[in-house]
Structure 1
């Protein structure tokens, strides 16, 4: 009979091999270096209706990069809306069109990259963490209040977030209480528990376990000082990616991306996110929100279930629900983008008390 003492080195050896050797071909351990080369879409914009410049501010000892939009043709200091992206997203992945619509209608806008993404500092790259994201939202608000008071009205602040950040803005608004004047939450992540249940149903138990174990593998590598392990952000069904998308959704997801990414972004994210998703439930914060909320939900959303959006609307009378009979990624493009973004601008203009610029005076903005 083999003694326990004799088995210990074998167990340690197997554990060590599991840490060092990617046991799943979907796990990526090649380094993802930051690329600081400027891309063609990240510079100053001096539009007839607004101006955009790059700004920097600190978060937990690192520097975040943002774009600050200031409207033209308005008197006094405009209210400001703070924007950020969803899971593994950054500001050059389709946020500029929303910010432009808002700035054209008299709103100042700050959109920023989380730590480890885009123009912001931080290693390893493409680290998605709800806790870290929420800290960056706090840092953005601190920057607005401490630095931008001469340019914008810091007593009238709105929050705008999409997908994963659609949940972040709800959590942030709940924590901020009366300091936030309006919130737009677009196709939001509301319940990690419900998303995990839906994922388990669609992926099956073996594939779900595979995803979870990849997260543990990444954490184990971190504990022993090895480079991180990544999984794809988006991939086809069965790809062991965080978003398993059919061909149509994949095309929509990529359509809002630039030709060249800021920071050298790649389609991968630290696998440790697989061990955090189910514990992140922004819906628990919804009853505490004091600000008016426009919640934009899509009825064919396979990532953020519409039923959870309905539940959120029932939890707080300040929530106005806008539903569209499309999928998760349809709101970023084409005629639906035009419709949704203008509806959001109208909501923000009303709730933040923005002054419509002279160049927009002939274009009345009827309320929702």
Structure 2
């Protein structure tokens, strides 16, 4: 079912929401492919430890750490009664991994599966009621993991970046633009293999045109995404792996209940429409009117509207705390 919600209506939803108790946050560690992963586990403040809880793995945009938009959404989901895990992928933030600041779709998919497996060991979690919430670029990683990992029982995406080769060309200035980025990535990879040393570019900048994200908000704003925990660098060797990653191919194989929250004013909505059309399982979508990609990360009204919808989806598909489950 398609729903379109204006900002005025979303504001009414937000203002009408109940007040929530602050969640507790526990630092956790687990392993993924021999490396230590560091995460934050958000626990509802009023959680009954004797009752099994539905739980979520929450992942954020590319090149980010757990304290950015993933933390905002995990806290919101814990406010709404869910155990929520955020973590730093290998090579990012506090997690292990020799190669740093390198966007690797395959590795991140594997880390999501490791996070789900870890949640299943937690005594407060119903191991058969674990869902995945992906934001922006990690949406593609989340759906790919869910398409093959039966432990992920339900999926929700917010402002999803979902591309295939066609959408990549539309996004990165055609075949020539894609070829230029791939060439830059190949050169960086060749240098890394030759020297064993990484060369970094700014991940985001308002002034440095070499930045992967040039003249973008959020990451360049100290009161938003430009936080001390985030290292503003990226290894440009990632380009080929990113550009050839196909998130849309997962759609026909994803049979879990699915919700998508997006806006035509946010990033590559054509990819989201393409993905949604190819889904064969139970699905719902909510399109918010005139919400930018970055406002989905921390804007009070869009976040409230998105998390209310996501919570309703997971309550329907995973149940509430204390319901039957292992």
Identify if the C-alpha distance between structure 1 residues 96 and 68 changes in structure 2 by more than 3 Å, giving closer, same or farther: same
Structure 1, 279-288 or 336-345: larger mean CA deviation: 336-345
CA distance in 2, matches of 1:259, 1:238: 19
Alignment partner of 1:187 out of 139, 151, 159 = 159
Match in the other structure for 1:197 = 169
Identify if the C-alpha distance between structure 1 residues 227 and 308 changes in structure 2 by more than 3 Å, giving closer, same or farther: same
Match in the other structure for 1:296 = 261
CA distance in 2, matches of 1:102, 1:199: 31
CA distance in 2, matches of 1:257, 1:194: 30
CA distance in 2, matches of 1:48, 1:251: 27
Alignment partner of 2:66 out of 77, 91, 108 = 91
Match in the other structure for 2:282 = 318
Match in the other structure for 1:309 = 272
Identify if the C-alpha distance between structure 1 residues 97 and 195 changes in structure 2 by more than 3 Å, giving closer, same or farther: same
Question: Any unmatched runs of 5+ in structure 1?
Answer: 1-46, 357-368
CA distance in 2, matches of 1:54, 1:170: 26
Deviation digits for residues 134-168 of structure 1, max 9, x if unmatched?
Answer: 111111122122x21x2111110010111111111
Identify if the C-alpha distance between structure 1 residues 251 and 90 changes in structure 2 by more than 3 Å, giving closer, same or farther: closer
Alignment partner of 1:250 out of 205, 210, 217 = 217
Alignment partner of 1:274 out of 239, 243, 252 = 239
Question: Any unmatched runs of 5+ in structure 2?
Answer: 1-19
Deviation digits for residues 281-326 of structure 1, max 9, x if unmatched?
Answer: 111011111211111222123xx42122112222124221111222
The yes-or-no answer on 1:140 pairing with 2:115 is yes
Alignment partner of 1:233 out of 203, 207, 211 = 203
CA distance in 2, matches of 1:345, 1:226: 45
Given that residues 57 and 133 in structure 2 are in contact (C-alpha distance below 8 angstroms), is that contact kept between their aligned partners in structure 1?
yes
**What secondary structure is seen at the aligned counterpart in 2 of 1:188?**
coil
Match in the other structure for 1:80 = 55
Given that residues 80 and 158 in structure 1 are in contact (C-alpha distance below 8 angstroms), is that contact kept between their aligned partners in structure 2?
yes
**What secondary structure is seen at the aligned counterpart in 1 of 2:85?**
strand
Identify if the C-alpha distance between structure 1 residues 199 and 236 changes in structure 2 by more than 3 Å, giving closer, same or farther: farther
Q: CA deviation at 1:180?
A: 2.3
Select the structure with the greater relative contact order (CA < 8 A; seq sep ≥ 6). 2
Q: CA deviation at 1:113?
A: 0.6
Q: CA deviation at 1:89?
A: 0.7
CA distance in 1, matches of 2:278, 2:30: 35
CA RMSD of aligned residues (A): 2.5
Q: CA deviation at 1:95?
A: 2.1
Q: CA deviation at 1:65?
A: 0.3
1:1-368, aligned counterparts within 5 Å?
Answer: 49-75=22-48, 76-145=51-120, 147-148=121-122, 150-177=123-150, 179-201=151-173, 205=176, 208-235=178-205, 239-245=209-215, 249-251=216-218, 254=221, 255-257=223-225, 259-261=227-229, 265-301=230-266, 304-316=267-279, 317-324=281-288, 325-332=290-297, 333-355=299-321
Identify if the C-alpha distance between structure 1 residues 210 and 268 changes in structure 2 by more than 3 Å, giving closer, same or farther: farther
CA distance in 1, matches of 2:255, 2:220: 33
Identify if the C-alpha distance between structure 1 residues 103 and 170 changes in structure 2 by more than 3 Å, giving closer, same or farther: same
Given that residues 105 and 349 in structure 1 are in contact (C-alpha distance below 8 angstroms), is that contact kept between their aligned partners in structure 2?
no
Match in the other structure for 1:361 = none
Structure 1, 116-125 or 162-171: larger mean CA deviation: 116-125
Normalised by the length of structure 1, the TM-score is 0.74
